[in-house]
Amino acid sequence: MFRKILVANRGEIAIRIMRACRELGVQTVAVYSEADKNAQHVQFADEALCIGGAAPKESYLNADVIIRAALDSKADAIHPGYGFLSENAAFAADVESANLTFIGPAADSIRAMGDKAASKILMKQANVPTVPGVEGLETYDEFKKAADEIGYPVLIKASAGGGGKGMRVVSAESELKEAIELARSEARNAFGDERLLIEKYLEDAHHIEIQVFGDKHGNLVHLFERECSVQRRHQKIIEESPSPLLTPELREQMGAAAVKAAKAVGYYNAGTVEFIFDSKPSTLNLKPSFYFLEMNTRLQVEHPVTEMVSGLDLVHWQIRVAAGEAFPFAQSDLCQHGHAIECRIYAEDPAGGFLPSTGKLLQFIPPQGPGIRVDSGFAVGDEVTHFYDPLLAKLIVRAESRADAIVRMENALADFIVHGVTTNIDFMRAVLATDDFRQGKVSTRWVEEKFGAWSPAPADALTVIAAALADVVFVGKAQSAVSNESDPFSPWKQTGNYRN
């Protein structure tokens, strides 16, 4: 087992990894930007190093500085979390070249799956179902010919990267040229790579992904599916397992396809194979009804959903297999227990196009109770800045049935109190209350179609007053506690825990 691990990330995922390290008896090193000097993950770690300015490229995306920090702190390994450098093949290779262990897959596996066009070609060769499309196109005439052959609507998307960037849906030829130009520009700005591909756009598709896990000894299994169809701007906001759509036969077929995809690139550690599930198979007149979308060669944001229904700690096992242990479970040993749902709690305005919200957290009171888990990197008094993703927390619930899990999530959302920034909590409650969600009839386009004109109910007077007074009460009580503290050994005086 490692003695010390540097966590090359921030926020809730950094804390999640550090918590697993504590349980395994491993020391942790946090890295932080100048904007994150008071962040929760910095306080949670055994030691912390500042690695640069607030902008990600000056800190969390600065591979050389992160590796140097690991060497200077005498860490044995680096865990990248998700986002930032987690799927950067060059970073993974450089970590290993520095005689450190990269807690994730091999650089070659990341590289093979990191390019959407190349990975689709690879999956076709491995007989994994893929959406009909064409890769390696350059000119408008090539795109036009491919679109005519595939049939509208089509999807133009970046070959490198994800997260909805460099992606455009085209319904008719008249939209094609502008869509190509916009997608190419966005891909160039986001990923430094303007290559695009084209594929059939499935209008009533569901997004279903399969968690895979392997070790360095050749053992590779799937840990079942997560339904991720509730999305905004092509980004997931609610995930659940099991999927309300899958039959046992389909689950087995998709799991086998995911394992086949992972084996094609010699995969080990945690990874996710994402599929588009066609709720109307006649759309393509093809079988099966699911098609390879991409592979995320890292831990997923929504990994707690799998943990809640599988009983496995994925981060524990990430660390253990990176240290050389064998993953001891065969496919026949694994099963799903109960039902889990995750809601991503964002500082954003759903009524304003889901634009991020920034500010100071005047109140931040997560729900508690049986079957409720909250992963967060924030506390009262923290600042939500414009530099990073506005994810405040991941709220996960588990119950014996899907109906019970929905009720538990509804109550947990009602109990989640946040003041100081606008959040999507009320929006999540509105989603869960719909018949479509309760019946599992939610496609990837559902949010934009159903909630295009959504706005929250007006807050009652007491809520408004409480929010306005929260900052005054918080600051006044904390300052009073510090100024009136007579104990010279008080932790308030010793550590400066209070922050304006």
CB count, 10 Å around CB of 494? 10
Q: Which long-range contacts does 308-312 make (Cβ < 8 Å, 24+ apart)? A: 308/241, 308/338, 308/340, 308/373, 308/396, 308/398, 309/224, 309/241, 309/242, 309/336, 309/337, 309/338, 309/339, 309/340, 309/398, 310/223, 310/224, 310/334, 310/335, 310/336, 310/337, 311/337, 312/223
Angstrom distance (rounded) from CA 160 to CA 164: 11
Kind and range of the H or E run holding 41: helix 40-44
Classify burial at 250, counting beta carbons within 10 Å of its beta carbon; exposed 0-12, middle 13-18, buried 19 or more.
Answer: middle
- How wide is the angle at C-alpha 65 spanned by C-alphas 13 and 190, nearest 5°? 65
Question: What are the angstrom distances between the C-alpha of 337 and each of 124, 199, 293, 311, 437?
Answer: 33, 36, 27, 8, 21
φ and ψ at residue 343, rounded to 5 degrees: -115, 130
Question: What are the angstrom distances between the C-alpha of 399 and each of 239, 302, 306?
Answer: 15, 17, 13
451, 475 contact by CB (below 8 A)? no
Kind and range of the H or E run holding 479: helix 461-483
Angstrom distance (rounded) from CA 449 to CA 427: 14
User: 205: closest CA among 273, 286, 291, 119?
Assistant: 291
CB count, 10 Å around CB of 92? 26
Active site residues: 298
70, 98 contact by CB (below 8 A)? yes
DSSP letter, residue 387 = S
φ and ψ at residue 339, rounded to 5 degrees: -135, 135
Q: Which amino acid is at 228?
A: C
* 154-158, strands of its sheet edge to edge: 133-137, 196-200, 154-158, 167-170
300, 272 contact by CB (below 8 A)? yes
| SS3 at position 203 | coil
Place of tokens 């998709």: 254
244, 319 contact by CB (below 8 A)? no
